[in-house]
Chain A
């Protein structure tokens, strides 16, 4: 009864939210044009109504999922009676539900922006509301009229249970991956809306990005975590031995992250030196448009890939039209303001912090261009020549590799080189020991017999950057210790007083750790062998003994699990149990890898094939240094948490209060 009510209410609220969003958007525009406070309040109340309606809609869909309403096509598609509740509530397991989640998050963020700005940025807010609502109208209308999760199956065809979530997706990382990624994607809508409002009103100062700095950083942070969780999931679940395939779906989240990274760096130059104003507006426009474009790529099925889950015709065209409206509209706003956005200062020297940040921006955009090109080339080539040219990982690695090395170099140089024009003394003082670290790393690697360019270059750069970071920390801590602070207190105070700088270094450190892991990939080994029970196989210092294979019985799948004893240099490591499953309901086979992992390398094995006579084809991947990527992921989370933790702001306002 309650379920029925909630579902009915949810379906209705969805339609209503479209109309309230139109209302709030139109009134926002009027309020902005007339600078009318009463109209602004009305638009804000509209935003609150939209948020409440979308929340009711979410609630309705969750009720339908938990209440096993298999008469709804969407519920029947992604849920089953037996599915554990934590997978039932994951309404992002199918297209209609994930679009509703997306819309609700837009509504939530619009609501939070309205709350935050009750007494701030009053002249920008009507336009911010208008832009946010433009987005909500599009997505809410898409959910309500094109891909509605409340659609009922035709009478007589109702199922007693559903299809169930794809077993590949039934994994903890996958459960939290989409919502986290969405916070990233949608979070960029807030700085985008403020940038648009600034361009419309002509309030072109630094307010628009300073007031949204936390939003931008949070969005970027979540997008980064989302990328990492996706990689982790691919590694643990998909069973192909890797974590990143340059798949269009992956690329479509990487692109806005790259644009966002460039933006986070270049706004610092505008704050300090009043340069790069047009550039910053352009970058945030690019970041958000790429978020929406990425969603289009993955949802419309325009580029076929492992996890695209849709191919409805005019759904894609509508979406592409929306991306075009965003991009062209924003570009038009920006072009109109270009004459007012001239730099206050000029670049004095190529050896300066400004220049290194500028180069960093070029490098990020170059990476973006490479990924964009590689992702879209198949589509373009098919449209123009009729022959689809597909692009595999070697393309991306070949072109992104050199740019990444250059970026790592700048990561070390940027924070230490002097503003305006670096002197020889400054350079010697800052870079003597980091350059030494890079040289020592190179010599050591060569001495250990490494002869390949990329790993040496990557690892040498990692040593270089790590040295600059530790030098900065050491310098700061030593300075504070001279004032009588203990090392621990000095460390905490350093972070607290200069949160952005020292928090940023920790994020840099995270990236360095990840690159150590990426460098390891150049030494990946992969081999397949057919083994009979009792046979042993020795490779790369390991010995695997194939003991036996056992059938697995489960209500939802049948499978086989191989028991392997693993020895490293003769010493037993443990049992590995790679598994193969066939899910009945979805006719979906899955391969579950087994991994023995340490800080040096992963021994990753899958049961690639099983013959009737119990012989097993084992595929082994030796992946050096992979763990450093996940360790880097943890450090990334720590660094960003430090950056976002409201300690600096409080300390600052406390200082302001007591002059």
Chain B
């Protein structure tokens, strides 16, 4: 067997190993299903969402924030922007921490990261989105 063939084989096996690892990895540790709206998460079959790592994007329902600083968690609901309309669903969230982001408040746009278990979304992380992060908006003019 010539050296060229050996090298090709080595490269091939490395490539194949990598492909295998990556395919397995795609559903493994450190991956999240991303839901761009709360309705699709709530409507998803429970087998798809129960106890699986997910990120859900939504808005904090006004008046739903309940901080429990002594117990070390913050409860709130997230829903889609159309939450005022009939039929819109809210997802109860328990954030397992007290260090909520600066922008976290009623109506804030958030992504919660965690998993769904027995009726509540247990969030390890809450990421708030800044509505006007980098693009300009005239001063004094509201969104």
Contact = CB atoms under 8 A, between A and B. Distances in A.
Contacts of A370: 18, 22
B102 A587 contact: no
B1 to A, nearest CB: 12
Interface string A387-418: 11111111111110000000000000000000
Chain B contact residues, majority secondary structure: loop
Interface stretch (B58-66, B83-91, B128-136): B128-136
Contacts of A347: 3, 6-7
A366 B18 contact: yes
Contact of B98 (A378, A398, A591, A609): A609
B29 A394 contact: yes
Given A161-B139, A366-B18, A587-B131, A389 B30 contact: no
A159 B138 contact: yes
Interface residues of A, number: 58
B134 A387 contact: no
Contacts of A307: 134
A390 B31 contact: yes
Contacts of A211: none
Contacts of B97: 528
Contacts of A608: 98-100
A77 B133 CA distance: 12
Contacts of A580: 102
B51 to A, nearest CB: 16
A378 B34 contact: yes
Contact of B30 (A166, A369, A392): A392
A277 to B, nearest CB: 14
A587 B31 CA distance: 32
Contact of B11 (A362, A378, A387, A389): A362
Contacts of B21: 399
Contact of B31 (A78, A346, A392): A392
B99 A619 contact: yes
B135 A77 contact: yes
A527 B102 CA distance: 18
Contacts of A295: none
A309 interface: yes
A362 B34 contact: no
A423 interface: no
B14, B36, B100: most-surrounded residue (chain A CB, <10 A): B14
Nearest to A611: B69
Interface residues of B, number: 43
Interface in B50-93: 55, 69-70, 72
A388 B139 contact: no
A73 interface: yes
Contacts of A157: 138
Interface in B1-46: 2-4, 6-7, 10-11, 14, 18, 21-22, 25-34, 36
Nearest to B22: A373
Given A73-B136, A157-B138, A609-B99, A393 B30 contact: yes
A528 B99 contact: yes
B117 interface: no
Contacts of A585: 139
A213 interface: no
Interface in A51-107: 73, 76-78, 94
A395 B23 CA distance: 12
B130 A530 contact: no
A629 B75 CA distance: 39
A615 interface: yes
Contacts of B138: 76, 157, 159, 163
B136 A76 contact: yes
B14 A399 contact: no
Contacts of A609: 98-100
A352 to B, nearest CB: 11
Contacts of A282: none
A619 B29 CA distance: 25
Contacts of A388: 33-34, 36
A589 interface: yes
A586 interface: yes
B136 A362 contact: no
A30 interface: no
Contacts of A310: 135
B135 A309 contact: yes
A377 interface: yes
A390 B34 contact: yes
10 cross-chain pairs, A with B, having the tightest CB-CB distances, nearest first = A394-B30, A589-B102, A608-B99, A395-B30, A77-B136, A388-B34, A309-B134, A392-B30, A163-B136, A347-B3
